[in-house]
Structure 1
């Protein structure tokens, strides 16, 4: 069975199709052939504006988790030999503070269906039984339903097409690099080691990793830096319409994070670790 023909999915995609076509129709007198692309950008801005309360909640949660970091390290030292007790104590600490280590996943989970719907709108020849007229729309002369990798594989890309796709991917990568630099993770200072013969009370069980040391390891920091550019790689595979969505959303995310970090600064630090998506 075709996934997109499943009635609830088909209704959602058809509703998004109607919304985009309606917006494109309204914008066409002003923007001509770029109306559909402008409609995608407008929808993206609406979605991100609707997610502002979630972003504020994320920023507050990040601030809280940074404040709790010393307490978490103390729990890890205290219960290093009892993982089950450690998990219970950590869960209790998060519950007492009204936060969760997974709170930052919500915006990405909310955005994923939006990208999926936009992707479907530009790969399906028919939507809910009627022709998909969006496939004929273009951005700077490039069909919104085409992708860089697909065009390269088919050998149908012109120099102008490559310039458009390259520009989209370059903007996403540039925003990722700015995000990486602005929110560069720092290596927290490791707690002082106890004097010999203290029984290991301050350092934890032998072999227990120091969270700060693990987080600050060169390999981990390189991996976190690389995460900033995954979105640019994705943009090479998805339709140009979805690429435009990604350009707007990563740029919005960067500006929003800068503003929220000023409003909710982390204790003793002005940097954070998070991908720009």
Structure 2
């Protein structure tokens, strides 16, 4: 069964298509042939702006989890032979602090449907029984519905396709590397963004980077590299969404980490 043929899904795709086409038409006098690409970028920014309160809640939750790390380690030591007691005590500790170990997952979960809709709009020639004019829209001469790997596999890749999609992929990989460095204790970006935190650590050890402090934080860099790999397969329009989202996430985390700093090594707070 084709999921996109279901009435509710087809209606959702049709609404998204018409909204993007309407925004594209409004932008065309100023953006020209790149109007549809600019429309995708604006939609991405709008989605991320709406998620700012969620990002703030996430930063607070990360700060709380970092503060609770010594107590969680003690629970693991105390109940290492009793997994059920460890799980119960851990969840009780989180509940007492008014947070959850899954608080950081919400932004990603909220964005997945949006990305899925953008992906679907740019891979279907027919939407709700009518033609998809967005597939003919381009960015620097590259159709927004084309992907690097599918184009290479189908023998339709041009130099423009490789350059434009390659630039998107490299942009996502770059923010992944910046995230990895920001998550490394004592990294240059950490020193630039949170010099007081690192200085206050002193002889206690290096402070975590502004995005660091836990394995979850360091995994963000790996996730961005995985996102870069995914951008090779999805349509260019979806790749643009991933690119803007990756840079927005990086910038937002830097800002929020200054507002909600993680404890430095040795238990001191910045």
TM-score class normalised by the smaller sequence: 0.7 to 0.9
CA deviation map 1:19-74 (0-9, x unaligned) = 10010000001111100000000000000000001000000000000000111111
Correspondence list, 1:100-115, <5 A:
100-115=100-115
TM, length-normalised to structure 2? 0.84
CA deviation map 1:56-108 (0-9, x unaligned) = 00000000000001111111111222221111111100000011111111111
Identify if the C-alpha distance between structure 1 residues 222 and 67 changes in structure 2 by more than 3 Å, giving closer, same or farther. Answer: closer
Do structure 1's residue 11 and structure 2's residue 7 form an aligned pair? Answer: no
Give runs of ≥4 in structure 1 deviating > 2 Å.
220-228
CA deviation map 1:180-221 (0-9, x unaligned) = 1112268xxxxxxxxxxxxxxxxxxxxxxxxxxxx78xxx99
Partner residue in 2 for 1:71: 71
2:229, 2:108 → 1: CA distance?
17
2:218, 2:23 → 1: CA distance?
42
1:56, 1:20 → 2: CA distance?
29
RMSD: 1.8
- Asked if structure 2 preserves the Cα contact closer than 8 Å seen for 1:180 and 1:228, the reply is no
Do structure 1's residue 242 and structure 2's residue 238 form an aligned pair? Answer: yes
SS of equivalent residue, structure 1 residue 237: coil
- Structure 1, unmatched stretches of 5+, are 187-214, 270-277
SS of equivalent residue, structure 1 residue 46: helix
Partner residue in 2 for 1:56: 56
1:160, 1:103 → 2: CA distance?
41
SS of equivalent residue, structure 1 residue 157: coil
Correspondence list, 1:186-225, <5 A:
225=221
CA displacement at 1:226 relative to structure 2 = 3.3
Partner residue in 2 for 1:178: 178
CA displacement at 1:222 relative to structure 2 = 8.9
Do structure 1's residue 130 and structure 2's residue 126 form an aligned pair? Answer: no
2:94, 2:217 → 1: CA distance?
25
CA displacement at 1:228 relative to structure 2 = 3.1
Number of aligned residues: 238
2:31, 2:217 → 1: CA distance?
44
TM, length-normalised to structure 1? 0.82
2:11, 2:57 → 1: CA distance?
31
Do structure 1's residue 263 and structure 2's residue 259 form an aligned pair? Answer: yes
- Structure 2, unmatched stretches of 5+, are 187-213, 266-270
- Asked if structure 1 preserves the Cα contact closer than 8 Å seen for 2:28 and 2:35, the reply is yes
Identify if the C-alpha distance between structure 1 residues 221 and 18 changes in structure 2 by more than 3 Å, giving closer, same or farther. Answer: closer
- Asked if structure 2 preserves the Cα contact closer than 8 Å seen for 1:185 and 1:221, the reply is no
CA deviation map 1:151-185 (0-9, x unaligned) = 10111111122111111111111111111111226
CA deviation map 1:106-138 (0-9, x unaligned) = 111111111110110011111111111101100
Do structure 1's residue 231 and structure 2's residue 227 form an aligned pair? Answer: yes
Relative to its length, the structure with more helix (as a share) is 2
CA displacement at 1:225 relative to structure 2 = 4.8
Bigger RCO of structures 1 and 2 (CA < 8 A, at least 6 apart): 1
Identify if the C-alpha distance between structure 1 residues 102 and 39 changes in structure 2 by more than 3 Å, giving closer, same or farther. Answer: same
